[in-house]
Amino acid sequence: MAYTIAVEGLRKTYGATPVLDGVDLHVPRGGVHALLGPNGAGKSTTVKILTTLVAPSGGRAVVAGHDVVADPAAVRRAVSLTGQYAAVDEVLTGRENLVMMARLRHAGRSAARETAERLLARFDLVHAADRAVGTYSGGMARRLDIALSLVGDPQVLFLDEPTTGLDPRSRRDVWTAVEELAGSGVTVLLTTQYLEEADQLAERVTVLAGGRVAAEGTPDELKSRIGGETVQLVLSDVGALAAACAALDGQGRIDESGMSLHVTTDGSAGAVRDLLQLMAARDVPVDRVAVHRPTLDDVFLALTEQVAA
C-alpha cells in the first residue's frame, strides 16, 4: 500500500539531545491522522521535518511520494502547513489575506478572487470577509488560517495544534472545518494535546511521548488496550467487602478508598445485572453501583507513564 505519509525510523537530535528517537508513521490518503502527545513530545519537530522546514538526523520520510531530503521542493509543492502560531495579517481583511496568498502563489487577479470567495464560503467567513482580521475571534482567525493554507490546493495538510488556546465553541468550529476538509480527499496530519480532539476527528492516532511512538491505532483500539469497562461496587463495611471479594473469587480490585471493588466487564447491562444478582445471592449488601468506561485520557496517561518510567 502506498502511503501519503510514510515515515520510518525518523530521528532528530539537537546537539546531543535526541528529540525524535526512531519514529514510524504511516498515513493513507484522505482522512485525518492525529499525532498526540504532551509538551515536548516531538510533535512540531515531526511536522517540521515532514514539511521540509527542518532536516532529519536519520531515518526516512516520504510525503506525497517524495522524499523530504532528496526532493524537498516536490514535497513543498504538495503540502501546506498551518503552524502552531497563527500566520494571518491582522491589518488586512479576511478576503485580502486570501487574495494576497493566492497572488503569492502566482494566481491571476480574477483566479485569486475566485479562490478567496470559495474559501470564505467554505470556512463560513463570508459575513466577516471585509473586516480586519484583528477583529476576528480566535476561532475565526484559526479558520482563516486553515483557509489560507488551502489556497494552493495541497494534497497534504499539516495542522500543528489548530485549536490550542481556543474556547470550546471556537474549537468546535475548527473541528467542523477539519471534518469537511477530510471529506474532500485532503490528507490531514493534525497534532494535538487534546485527547478529545483526536477522538473526535481522527481515524487513527499515533501517541508520541519522549520522541518515541508509545502507541498507534484507532481511538477505540487504544481505549480497548487498557481494558474494558469496569463496574464499581461500593460496599458499606469491611465485612461486606470481604464477602464480595469471596463471591468474586479474587476477580475484583479494591480501590484506594478501601470500600469499593472494581470488576472488569464487557460493558453490557447483562454483566451488571449478573454481578448484582451474584451479590444478592450471597447476601452481600451493595450501597451503590457505577460503571466506568476508559477514556482516551486514561489511555494517554497509561501510555505516557509507561514511556516515562
- Closest approach, Cβ 18 to ligand ATP, in A, equals 9
- Picked from Mg ion, ligand ATP, none, the partner binding residue 41 (CB below 5 to 8 A depending on kind) is ligand ATP
> Residue 51 or residue 93: which is nearer to ligand ATP going by CB?
51
- Closest approach, Cβ 160 to Mg ion, in A, equals 6
CA distances from 22 to 11, 214, 308 (A): 5, 11, 16
- Alpha-carbon radius of gyration of the chain: 25
One of 10, 23, 36, 43 touching ligand ATP (CB under 6 A): 43
58 near ligand ATP, judged by CB under 6 A: no
Q: What is the DSSP string of 50-93?
A: HTTSS--SEEEEEETTEETTT-HHHHHHHEEEE-SS----SSSB
- Picked from ligand ATP, Mg ion, none, the partner binding residue 149 (CB below 5 to 8 A depending on kind) is none
Site for ligand ATP in 67-126 (CB under 6 A): 84
- Closest approach, Cβ 47 to ligand ATP, in A, equals 8
User: Which distant-in-sequence residues (6+ apart) come within 8 Å of 287 by Cβ?
Assistant: 234, 235, 236
Site for ligand ATP in 8-37 (CB under 6 A): 14, 19, 37
49 near ligand ATP, judged by CB under 6 A: no
Q: Which stretch binds ligand ATP (CB under 6 A): 41-49, 100-108, 176-184, 300-308?
A: 41-49
| CB-CB contact of 177 with 85 (8 Å) | no
> DSSP code of 203?
S
Give the integer Cα–Cα distance in Å for 278 and 62: 57
Which DSSP helix (H) or strand (E) runs through 217? strand 212-217
Which DSSP helix (H) or strand (E) runs through 183? helix 168-183
- In the sheet that holds 5-14, the strands lie side by side as 17-27, 5-14, 58-63, 66-67
User: Which distant-in-sequence residues (6+ apart) come within 8 Å of 249 by Cβ?
Assistant: none
- Picked from Mg ion, ligand ATP, none, the partner binding residue 213 (CB below 5 to 8 A depending on kind) is none
Site for Mg ion in 27-86 (CB under 5 A): 43-44
- Closest approach, Cβ 146 to ligand ATP, in A, equals 18
> Residue 80 or residue 93: which is nearer to Mg ion going by CB?
80
One of 32, 42, 75, 107 touching ligand ATP (CB under 6 A): 42
45 near ligand ATP, judged by CB under 6 A: yes
CA distances from 7 to 46, 50, 208, 222, 248 (A): 10, 9, 14, 21, 47
Give 230's strand partners.
264, 292
- Picked from Mg ion, ligand ATP, none, the partner binding residue 19 (CB below 5 to 8 A depending on kind) is ligand ATP
- Closest approach, Cβ 44 to ligand ATP, in A, equals 3
Contact residues toward ligand ATP (CB under 6 A) are 14, 19, 37, 39-45, 84, 193
